[in-house]
Structure 1
Amino acid sequence: MLISSRPFRILKPIRIIPSLETASRCRMSRSHAVAASGLLAITAMLGQSSRAQGVFSPPQTTTQSPSTPGPGLGATEQSQSDGSQDDKSSSSSTLAVPATLSSNQIIHILQQNPDLVVELKSQVADHLQQQGTPIDANDISDQMLYSQIATNGDLRANITMFLRARGYVSQDDLQSLGSNSNIGTAEGSDLTGQESTGLSGQSPALAGSDTARLAAADLSSPDQIEASGRAAQLVGSAANQSSNEPMRGREPVNGSTDPPKVLRQPAPYNLQSMRDLYTQIPEQTLPLKRFGSDVFVNRNVSAMARGGAGRDTPLDVPLGPDYVIGAGDTLTINMWGGMTQSVNRVIDRDGRILLPEAGSLDLAGLSLDRAESLIDSALKKQYRDVKVTVTVSRLRSVRVYVVGDVQRPGGYDISSLATPLSALYLAGGPTAAGSLRMVRHLRGEQLVENIDLYDFLLHGVRAKGARFESGDTLLISPIGPQVAVAGAVKRPAIYELKPGESTLDLAISDAGGLTAAASLGNITIERIDINRQRETVTLKTSATGAADADRATIAAFQIRDGDRIRIAPILPYSQRAIYLEGHVVRPGRRSYSDGMRLSDVLHSYQDLLPEPSPVGEIIRLVPPDLHAETINFNVPNVLIGNSNLDLQTFDTIRILGRYQADAPKVTIQGEVLRPSTYPLSDGMTAAQLVRMAGGFKRDAMLDEADLTSYGVANGTRVTGNLVTVHIGTAVAGTEPKADVLLKPGDILTIHQITGWNEIGQSVQIEGQVAYPGTYGFREGERLSSVLRRAGGFRETAYPAGAVLVRDQVRELEQKSREELIRQIETSSASARLSPNLGAGDSGATLKLIQAQQDQVLARLKSEPPTGRLVVHISSDIDIWANTSIDIEMRRGDVLTIPKRPGFVLITGQVYNATALTFAPGKTASWYLQHAGGTSDTANRREIFVIRANGSVIGRHSGGLFDPSVLSTKLGPGDVVVVPQKVIGASLFWKNLLTAAQLASSIAITAAVANI
């Protein structure tokens, strides 16, 4: 997988969700804990920024918002976000990818691109500061980021889409990840900068396969060297079993343009220069495989290319005139002139062919040119003026024996044109002990030639040796000395040496040569002192670093069997660079030159984003220990040339935005379209703030507005000041002096016109009035006035039972009812039982109490609050008008005047709960007797009466010597309620359930008004 190394800029801040376990496990300080908890706010916006950028697309840009955008800006961003979502949904076929990078792969990309981590931390810190969380980017550690990437699947998906849109990962790479189950699942591998599966430039299918693992071995011991050879043969045999062969061209190689493989230590400051310096060049830990072992892996070649032979094998290559004909070859003889004919003849085992009219001819052992001459002479004797050409249409097969250290030794029938490499293909390649450089071609006891396959594998040289004849033997000798070459070479692998080729420069040449990043002064050799010990040898190069002298030393150095050669790369960072970051157009590295000054980097305001902070800083790494120091400078003075500073290597020039440095803000509230907190731009006035908030609402009072300003007195305390602003004339511009400049922290309040909320208020009159309906009213208008406008009462009206419903009363009643329900549900068992109740009786009593409680609660919850306000009115409006009884009306009031009921309702614990015809002058006791009296479960002491107007008469309603409730004379529409006897001797519990029964019975009287 190819990884881009171009500079990176975050489009949107990323949300990271750390767990509390992570925070405690890391033993973070308070600032670290704030960072961990605050990272919760940043992940979701990443996916919106991961839109693909095509060749003809406009340049990809980073959106940097002010510290707290107002609703107007927020609406714009929302519309852009919605458009982004629409675009993304409409082009889902383009942006949809089937796989997500694993945490190892994402962390690897972050480690290889320190710009990502630095910018990511800065964006996170800025976002948290805008939300009021004081946090510095340096308090967010690398481990906090990496742990969230490892545990948060949604975060990995968002980052994957973002990296794809920015070109760090291609869609083909993600599709290959989706088609290979072992890609992205190895979450537990090393996170220290080593290549992850699928990210090292190797084919994902090959990287995760068993054959690739078998082909890799470490040259740490002779046993492992032998295992390397066995692995090569297992690779060859596995290839014979599989039809899906890995594609070549993605083997791990070292290119000069590849990003260096480094280990990144946590930097103490969130600086790109620090991250570059806090890197280590790791030791080679990836296992190397034997060079040439993969030649015998790919079996998807033709039988002819492998050297297979047979009579059905056609010849599709021309043969030279020196080809020696033998038994089994098929000759095509073409004749024209005196006659035209084409015949095919196979040379028999005696080496003869039978010609038409000319008899047999012995051709075995002759060259093709000589055979054509003999055939031409023989046919001209039989045919006049005939011309002849002879070609070989099919080749004979020869039996060759491949023996020695091969995977499948034995005899093979191969083409007479086959090469030793073809014979090795058929035999499966050499074993672990088989050599690629010592292959012997034997004919009987005679050595025909020695074959070095490296000539072909490395240089493409195919030796013009003797051809195979039947009975020839190909002997694979035991493997010779081997060395491993790793590091800054183009083709790291394990190489076999030939006698006389034991210098370091030849081994490096076999490995493809040095890369441009190779450090000739850092070459180490892990060597085996035979039968004694292992030792490390450092190549002694010239102290001055002269390249010619170092190459001469390399050419003279002798290597041995088992050596592990590592050529270290040069430093992974530039030692002559400066860094530009923050509120600039082109952040990143800049080349450093002697005598470089700040003005050479900051030329004009075109190099900066809008509204930069006037104060910039240079973070300098001071030698020799490179500790960090900060130097402040004035940005405007540098840009106009009044001030300049000398730069040094590794300097970081940081420019902040005006809303990042101090984040000045002002607030507008009240009657404007978008009240909010806005960034304070330079020279902003109260009128400009109103326009920024969308202007006035229709109910805004334009005469005066309050402006609250804050200041600091003597640097020790905050002082406040309130002034009045003629905001209407200031916004209109008719009075310039009315407008005032704003300062950071100012609060502008736009008041509402007096009585605006009363516009459109109305009440509803229902029931027995002359003109029922909805009536508007003026502020302070009373009930009597509205009733007169409604035409007064009808003859059938019953004013004593009037029901006035008010929303505010309903809300209070609802809160009171909820509190009563909460007390009943949370009361303990001790609050329900009497203190003198025995332990043996408490269990049964509690069950009865629980049943009664459930019944009362069900009734209390099923009947909603009425919101009834008790009024005492009569049919003669003039009597009670403008008295305390005549209440003021409120918006939404509903007054219902019922008809005269003509009955009294008896409910509760009676034998016959019913409505009885009203009898003038009769008491509650009389009505109760006519309803059959109370039942055994009735609480006779707590009987209460609810009047038609909503008032309640209970046992404790009057004075000490007042008559009982049952002696109360009732009127039409009154209700007698007999509550249930409360189980349990606790006085608190009795009062609680009695109140609940009363609350659930109040709604009955409001229902009576509608009968």
Structure 2
Amino acid sequence: MRLRCLLFFLLITFSAVTIQAQSINPNSVDVKSVNVDDLSDAQVMRMIQEMEKRGLSEQQAIALAQARGMSQDQIAKLQQRINEIKLTGGTAAHQIGVGTTMPVESGMTESVKREVDSSSVDQRIFGFSFFNNENLTFEPNINLPVPPSYVLGSGDEILIDVWGVSQQSYNLLIDKNGSINIPNVGPVQVGGLFQEAAQKRIFSKLTSIYSDLKSANPRTFASINVGTVKSIKVNVIGEVFLPGTYTLPGTATAFNALYLSGGPNKDGSFRNIQVIRNGELQATLDVYEFLIKGKSEINVHLSDGDVILVPTYEKRVKVGGEFKRNGIFEAKGEEKISDLVEYAGGFTEDAYTHRIELYRTTSRQRAFKDVLAENYEKIIVQSGDSVFAGTVLERYENKVSIEGAVYRPGNYELTEGLTLKQLIDKADGIREDVFLNRGLVTRLMDDLTLQNITFNVGEVLRGEKDIELKREDMVTISSIDDLREIRTVQIYGEVQYPGEFDYNEDMTLSDLVFKSGGFKESASEAFIEISRRLSYDEAQKAGDKIAHVYQFTISRDLKMNGEDAKFILSPYDQVFVRQSPGYEKKSVVNVFGEVNYAGQFSLTSKKERVSTIIQRAGGLSPNAYAKGAMLTRKVEVSQKVKRLREQLIASDTSLVFDDLGFDVVSIDLEKILKNPGEKEDIFLQDGDELVIPRELQTVKVTGGVLNPLSTSYIDGKGLKHYVQSGGGFSLRAKKGKSYVIYPNGAAASTKSFLFFRSYPKVMPGSEVVVPEKPHKEPLPATAWIAMASALASLSLTIVTIADKMGN
């Protein structure tokens, strides 16, 4: 469907091609003479791109094209070209740049709206978006039947169908003289007649050859309708964005032409648009009548040669505040504030409707005026006025509220003579936990200060005293719990859900353990401790004692015996459930590498050693390198240490902490397996990982050597040999600080005695590290000059002092 709609836009391209080929005035272009074969693929593609922005149907496009005189043969060719380009994308030989602008004739092509530059227009002007809305096109619909009031003219098509005893069809065009030529009848003058009058005249002429049409019982019938309508030219002038001449279908209305011209510009009127026909005022359009009241009859039909004049606006008024529509509205004649309120859609729900603020510009300065509601229909607006509607006050004229220990707290209507007792009754009375000795009324005084009025709740309920309430009074009646500290008990340790719980009267230790989800498997029910704070009387005396401690035994089924069962918890008690002495979490270690059964192993004892785990793993494999075995131990950094590190980093951003999550434990597995149970055979912990590698055949050399590398291990060779393999020491190497890191994580450094150095032994898989001296920037020439000057000055001073001493 979208592709077929492009037929309408071909008129633009036809005009462009003809203008480029003939270099003639656009108004003289004959679309009938354009050959579709002369169009390039790029021009057809341009039509596709432009027409995708419109929404014309296939029938509209064909009708408009036929109205311009294009033949069915040309339409068929264009449809074929479009289908080919849709499939192939067009040929490069015919394409033009995307930004190429094609001339547009002032004919039917003007029904495609041009871009309007509205950047200079205040978008608040009411009605502006009406003619500049992508969702509101006002494209003329030529598929609808023409109205009876439609005036026929040259170019209109008359369709005559005769059926019954006689059958005949006629498709007749009205010629330039306003006539149609009916075969065997002759010319019939219909130009300038309304459709209804033309139908009667044609029917009368048809009776001359079909006499049965006018008999009392006819057997021949005829229908007379308007087919394709003519095109008309209208001129849009005045304060519009795109004034000019536009060619439209004969059914077009004033809004069609205004839409194509972009509508009134920043100075144009929306209230006094004039349609001039044959030099006389035909109609005056008030767009507000359509926008606000929906009166479509103001949208008059146009005739050929009509002029639409958009004059400058008469008055403009700014509207703001609590109106449903805020913006700039146009006023005319003797319109008043009440009319402006109607255009603005009326007041919002929060508007203060009794007064409007009016700001007016006089010939010399600005003026302000209060407009009361009774004057809305009296004050005539002037150009440049600004009106503003304020909001209602955030206060209530007949509201009181009650909160606290009543069954229905909230807001209540202040009726005449309402008292405190009546308000409590409205709130369904007081709750059982009410504090009867005191209540409070908070009252807003005339000067907006707050006043407290206290009362005895019990006396009010008994009718002994009462208070008459006023607007905005707030009544507060407290409960017993509101006036005391929140009572809780706490339980810690080996229970499912440790924490704080609400205290209930007659709560026992078993009740609290039950609330906390019961004991964990690790709990010791034989050692439960309760800490109780000092009583009120005890706390009145200074002393060293700060709490009482009680110890109890409770079974896992939460039963207590004897006096223990009678012990009642008090508010703020703290209960501690200890862990059983012999309870231990399951501990698991990992063994990887060259063992017969690598994997995870559960520790069976706190004193399980490395040697026993190796035995449980099936011993070492034939390729194992025991000297290279490494043990890593999981390390958890406490929250306290983490916070301390964060504080240190905040004070010194150069600090860096490497938190790897484990430590390397140096072991000699070969020695451990030879002497199990000795001090080298250390105890294992949960999370330990023991890795036994294959025998390594290389030595790595890093640091202050000329060529850091990994080289083959040679039995009996020392550290210097491997350094020489790396090209020897570099200039900044610290030879005496060289050290070796062994595969098991241990390290050995170089030892010095007088002029002798003892380098550490190197094993397979070791890493030889040669530290380097820090790099120092050389002193600049200015520093050397300064030092020389200082030395010279010092020498001169010494010589002077020596001479004085010699004398």
**TM-score, length of structure 1 as denominator length:** 0.42
Structure 1 position 432, deviation (Å): 1.5
- 1:536 matched to 2:359? The reply is no
- Note closer, same or farther for the CA distance 1:747–1:439 as it changes in structure 2 (3 Å cut): closer
- Note closer, same or farther for the CA distance 1:330–1:538 as it changes in structure 2 (3 Å cut): same
CA offset digits 1:64-121 (Å, max 9, x no partner): xxxxxxxxxxxxxxxxxxxxxxxxxxxxxxxxxxxxxxxxxxxxxxxxxxxxxxxxxx
Matched residue, 1:480: 314
Distance in 2 separating the partners of 1:569 and 1:471: 52
Distance in 1 separating the partners of 2:289 and 2:677: 119
1:380 is aligned, of 203, 207, 217, to: 207
- Note closer, same or farther for the CA distance 1:590–1:466 as it changes in structure 2 (3 Å cut): closer
Aligned partner letter, 1:340: Q
- Note closer, same or farther for the CA distance 1:367–1:521 as it changes in structure 2 (3 Å cut): closer
- Note closer, same or farther for the CA distance 1:719–1:384 as it changes in structure 2 (3 Å cut): same
**SS in structure 1 of the partner of residue 273 of structure 2:** strand
- 1:680 matched to 2:503? The reply is yes
Distance in 1 separating the partners of 2:130 and 2:294: 13
Structure 1 position 328, deviation (Å): 1.5
**Aligned ranges 1:340-355 → 2 under 5 Å:** 340-355=167-182
Structure 1 position 716, deviation (Å): 7.2
Structure 1 position 938, deviation (Å): 6.5
Distance in 2 separating the partners of 1:487 and 1:567: 5
Structure 1 position 612, deviation (Å): 10
Asked whether the 8 Å contact 1:726–1:739 carries over to 2, the reply is: no
2:185 is aligned, of 351, 354, 358, to: 358
Matched residue, 1:445: 279
Structure 1 position 350, deviation (Å): 0.9
Matched residue, 2:233: 399
Distance in 1 separating the partners of 2:752 and 2:358: 103
Distance in 2 separating the partners of 1:672 and 1:710: 26
What root-mean-square deviation, in Å, do the aligned CA atoms of Structure 1 and Structure 2 show? 5.3
- 1:506 matched to 2:339? The reply is yes
Asked whether the 8 Å contact 2:528–2:575 carries over to 1, the reply is: no
Asked whether the 8 Å contact 1:288–1:492 carries over to 2, the reply is: no
Distance in 2 separating the partners of 1:517 and 1:672: 57
Matched residue, 1:569: 391
> Looking at both structures, which has the greater relative contact order when contacts are Cα pairs under 8 Å and sequence separation is at least 6?
1
- Note closer, same or farther for the CA distance 1:570–1:755 as it changes in structure 2 (3 Å cut): closer
Question: Number of paired residues?
Answer: 498
Aligned partner letter, 1:684: M
Matched residue, 2:532: 708
Matched residue, 1:748: 575
Matched residue, 2:252: 418
- Note closer, same or farther for the CA distance 1:848–1:443 as it changes in structure 2 (3 Å cut): closer
Instruction: Name the one with the larger helix percent.
Output: 1
Structure 1 position 331, deviation (Å): 1.0
Distance in 2 separating the partners of 1:465 and 1:422: 9
Matched residue, 1:559: 381
Structure 1 position 387, deviation (Å): 3.1
Asked whether the 8 Å contact 1:710–1:745 carries over to 2, the reply is: no
- 1:457 matched to 2:291? The reply is yes
Structure 1 position 635, deviation (Å): 9.9
Unmatched 5+ stretches in structure 1: 1-286, 303-311, 540-549, 768-796, 812-846, 865-936, 942-1011
Asked whether the 8 Å contact 1:353–1:360 carries over to 2, the reply is: yes
**SS in structure 2 of the partner of residue 437 of structure 1:** coil
Matched residue, 1:428: 262
Structure 1 position 424, deviation (Å): 1.2
Distance in 2 separating the partners of 1:452 and 1:700: 92
Asked whether the 8 Å contact 1:327–1:347 carries over to 2, the reply is: yes
Distance in 2 separating the partners of 1:585 and 1:628: 26
**TM-score, length of structure 2 as denominator length:** 0.51
- Note closer, same or farther for the CA distance 1:519–1:723 as it changes in structure 2 (3 Å cut): closer
Distance in 2 separating the partners of 1:689 and 1:387: 102
Distance in 1 separating the partners of 2:481 and 2:257: 76
**SS in structure 2 of the partner of residue 700 of structure 1:** strand
Asked whether the 8 Å contact 1:672–1:700 carries over to 2, the reply is: no
- Note closer, same or farther for the CA distance 1:516–1:675 as it changes in structure 2 (3 Å cut): closer
Matched residue, 2:127: 292
**SS in structure 1 of the partner of residue 246 of structure 2:** strand
CA offset digits 1:881-915 (Å, max 9, x no partner): xxxxxxxxxxxxxxxxxxxxxxxxxxxxxxxxxxx
Aligned partner letter, 2:264: P
- Note closer, same or farther for the CA distance 1:347–1:652 as it changes in structure 2 (3 Å cut): farther
Distance in 2 separating the partners of 1:611 and 1:851: 83
Matched residue, 2:152: 325
Aligned partner letter, 2:370: T
**Aligned ranges 1:526-925 → 2 under 5 Å:** 526-530=359-363, 532-539=364-371, 550-578=372-400, 591-593=413-415, 620-628=442-450, 649=472, 651=474, 653=476, 662-669=485-492, 672-696=495-519, 700-702=524-526, 705-712=529-536, 713-714=539-540, 720-722=546-548, 724=550, 726-728=552-554, 731-732=558-559, 734-735=561-562, 738-750=565-577, 862-863=745-746
**SS in structure 1 of the partner of residue 281 of structure 2:** strand
More displaced, 649-658 or 618-627?
Answer: 649-658
Question: Percent sequence identity over matched residues?
Answer: 26
Distance in 2 separating the partners of 1:575 and 1:634: 27
- Note closer, same or farther for the CA distance 1:350–1:855 as it changes in structure 2 (3 Å cut): same
Aligned partner letter, 1:534: R
Max Rg structure: 2
Matched residue, 2:669: none
CA offset digits 1:245-288 (Å, max 9, x no partner): xxxxxxxxxxxxxxxxxxxxxxxxxxxxxxxxxxxxxxxxxx97
Aligned partner letter, 2:347: L
Asked whether the 8 Å contact 1:528–1:562 carries over to 2, the reply is: yes
- Note closer, same or farther for the CA distance 1:412–1:562 as it changes in structure 2 (3 Å cut): same
Asked whether the 8 Å contact 2:609–2:681 carries over to 1, the reply is: no
Distance in 1 separating the partners of 2:171 and 2:284: 37
Matched residue, 1:338: 165
Aligned partner letter, 2:183: P
- Note closer, same or farther for the CA distance 1:602–1:734 as it changes in structure 2 (3 Å cut): farther
- Note closer, same or farther for the CA distance 1:716–1:565 as it changes in structure 2 (3 Å cut): farther
Distance in 2 separating the partners of 1:457 and 1:857: 92
CA offset digits 1:509-565 (Å, max 9, x no partner): 2222334443244321111012x11121122xxxxxxxxxx5432212232111101
Distance in 2 separating the partners of 1:511 and 1:627: 39
Structure 1 position 760, deviation (Å): 7.7
Structure 1 position 700, deviation (Å): 2.5
Matched residue, 2:621: none
- Note closer, same or farther for the CA distance 1:300–1:762 as it changes in structure 2 (3 Å cut): closer
Aligned partner letter, 1:298: N
CA offset digits 1:310-352 (Å, max 9, x no partner): xx98743334444332212111112123312222111010111
**Aligned ranges 1:61-72 → 2 under 5 Å:** none
Aligned partner letter, 1:323: Y
2:329 is aligned, of 469, 475, 495, to: 495
- Note closer, same or farther for the CA distance 1:753–1:608 as it changes in structure 2 (3 Å cut): farther
Distance in 2 separating the partners of 1:356 and 1:667: 111
Aligned partner letter, 2:575: L
- Note closer, same or farther for the CA distance 1:573–1:855 as it changes in structure 2 (3 Å cut): farther
Distance in 2 separating the partners of 1:632 and 1:848: 92
Structure 1 position 661, deviation (Å): 6.2
Asked whether the 8 Å contact 2:155–2:175 carries over to 1, the reply is: yes
- Note closer, same or farther for the CA distance 1:574–1:850 as it changes in structure 2 (3 Å cut): farther
Structure 1 position 632, deviation (Å): 8.2
Asked whether the 8 Å contact 1:401–1:473 carries over to 2, the reply is: yes
Aligned partner letter, 2:309: L
Distance in 2 separating the partners of 1:353 and 1:330: 9
